[in-house]
Structure 1
Amino acid sequence: MKNTASDYLQRLDRYLAFLLMEKGLSEKTIAAYSADLVRFGLYLEKKKTTLVADIDTRLILTYLIQLRDQQLSPRSRARHLVSLRGFFKFLTNEKILQKNPAQQIDLPKTGLHLPDVLTVADVEALIDAPCRDKPEGLRDAAMLELLYGAGLRVSELIRLEMTAINLEAGFVRVFGKGAKERVVPVGRLALDAIRDYLDRSRPMLLKSRASVHLFVTRRGRAMTRQSFWNLIGRYGRLAKLRKKITPHSLRHSFATHLIEGGADLRAVQMMLGHADISTTQIYTHVAHRQLVQAHKKYHPRG
């Protein structure tokens, strides 16, 4: 807990000083921001989040859902989101964080929803974008297939070792947040893509070198988080997808497609590695929203 307080509150103190000294905001306005962000800090302590760098979009979404469950009005929740966006924008500008985890969250008057989920056709177009005539293309296609096929976080994907994948049994062993282990089934298409990569790509990338990592670069090293972010963005553009594509887009889509297909919420919770099922319930909001939109569009009495 002390680590959380020292890291988060230290960043918060710098931000409030920035608002006062450089932005010139009134004490009343700064006090309002401070109250919102201190409340979020208390939530972090309960979640045992130890570093500001560990705060992601999912964590902020669950916090906003908690505020909703505590009967805060949409207007109050929107104010909290504005406070969080400003704080994380400051951390991003200061190079403390690479990206603002609150930037893509929308909180309209009707309630909370996630950024757009990819359609199945969007996912297929994205996975088909890499050129499989090249070793890197085979690797990238396998990574995209596995990311979507198992609902992995990008940090989990790039850390996978050779021993993590069981091609015969069809599962991947993942170490998620807090070093918690889970086993996730992997579909046929992802398994085929991984086999293709292992047979035709990985030896060419490694040459005579050895590596424990499943996915490697031409230097024989593991793929970095930033490199994969750049890759998936490029493939999104090649696939001519109009939505902004991130690694988490595929994780969102994995969960939503499962729930829309009738999968049990507890099963999805286990596959995603969520400690709290309320986190998984975020995706039921997305599925319901899309069903409502489809009903309005296609039903004669919609």
Structure 2
Amino acid sequence: MSAAVLLYTEHAERVRRLSAATVRAYRSDLADLAVFLGEPELDRIDVEDLREWLWAATQRGTARASLARRTASVRGFFAWAAGERLREDDPTLRLVTPKRGRTLPAVASTSSLQHALDDLRVEADASGDPIVLRDAALLELLYGSALRVSEACGLDLDSLDRGAATVRVFGKGGKERVVPYGAPAALALDAWIVRGRPALLAGTEASALFLGARGGRLGVRTAYDVVRRIVGPVVGADAVGPHALRHSAATHLLDGGADLRAVQELLGHASLGTTQIYTHVSTERLTAAYRLAHPRA
């Protein structure tokens, strides 16, 4: 099974062009299955084995979203294995996918987020510290263009069209989109590129837009730390990540009257249904405001 998992994850990455994070998750799920079943022969695994594996995960308190992903991992793997004739049948055809609960994302208020970003940019301009200049540009772009953190960390200098104030992004599955960014992001990016970036550039990552303290391309983990430190207090959560800025941008756009399909294009969502979760956030906020303010609520 381990040899088949290696072939499948290579197929998922190179042929299906799934994101690196998705491939890692699938590889981890399938490795866990192999250990759970004692490294079995591929053609000896049946649907009862898979049900027992999922049941054991349930007993450990695994979240429904993770259970749904585990099911997707084995579905994709065994469908591929049957297609490659590594086994005669697909045992997942009778496997029920756990229903995934949909949680509303954490969203910062418009005013509190603007204050936090403005304060950071003032600090960056006053200090000239290249790290602070980078952090200000990163957060402004994450919020201003509603980027995924992996998309932002993967940007190169030539991804920016500074004249048009747009950025070319390669999202999930290698799909390309061009999205705008606003005036605050433009100012922060100019300050970073002119004053901050040259101080960190080590020569090995001359093309990367955002750099780490040692001059290499900025890593996703460092970007998470930046968001948690600056945006966490605004959202009121210690474990907040870069997606909080993406969620906030989408919600604020819809609150301001943006068209849902325009927001879908900005976010790079394949399905409009994925974007519609942000309308639920806005509706909840409207309902909460109504209950607090209306005398007959």
Question: Which position in structure 1 is the counterpart of 2:236?
Answer: 242
Which of 130, 148, 155 in structure 2 is aligned with 1:153? 148
8 Å contact kept, 2:130–2:196: yes
How far apart are 1:30 and its partner, in Å?
Answer: 6.6
Aligned equivalents of 2:213 and 2:68: distance in 1? 46
1:207 is displaced (CA, Å) by 6.8
Cα 1:301/1:290, change in 2 over 3 Å? same
| TM-score, normalised relative to structure 2 | 0.68
Aligned pairs for 1:11-90 (under 5 A) are: 11=31, 13=33, 32=55, 40-41=69-70, 43=72, 80=99
Tell me, yes or no, if the aligned pair for 1:113 and 1:286 is still in contact at 8 Å. no
Equivalent residues of 2:200, 2:211 under 8 A apart: yes
Gaps of 5+ in 2: 1-6, 13-22, 39-50, 59-63, 78-96
1:124 counterpart residue number:
114
CA distance in 1, matches of 2:54, 2:169: 42
| 2:30 is the alignment partner of 1:10 | yes
Match of 1:230 in 2: 225
1:186 corresponds to 2:176: no
State the structure with more CA Rg. Answer: 2
Mapped to 2, the partners of 1:184 and 1:197 lie a distance apart of 20
* CA distance in 1: counterparts of 2:167 and 2:196, whole angstroms: 20
Question: Could you tell me how far apart the structure 2 residues matched to 1:204 and 1:148 are?
Answer: 25
The residue identity in structure 1 corresponding to 2:237 is K
Contact 2:166-2:179 at 8 Å conserved across structures: yes
Retained in 2: the 8 A contact 1:142–1:197?
Answer: yes
- Structure 1 residues 266, 44: CA separation in 2 closer, same or farther (over 3 Å shift)? farther
For 1:98-137, what aligned pairs fall within 5 Å after superposition? 112-130=102-120, 131-132=123-124, 133=127, 134-137=129-132
Is 1:299 equivalent to 2:294 in the alignment? yes
Write the letter of the residue equivalent to 1:121: S
Amino acid corresponding to residue 123 of structure 1 in structure 2:
L
The Cα RMSD (Å) is 3.5
Return 5+ residue gaps in structure 1 as ranges.
19-27, 49-76, 82-106
Q: Structure 1, residues 61-97: CA drift from partner, whole Å, max 9, x if none? A: xxxxxxxxxxxxxxxx9x855xxxxxxxxxxxxxxxx
Q: What is the TM-score when the length of structure 1 is the normalising length?
A: 0.67
1:199 is displaced (CA, Å) by 1.6
2:283 to 282, 285, 288: 288
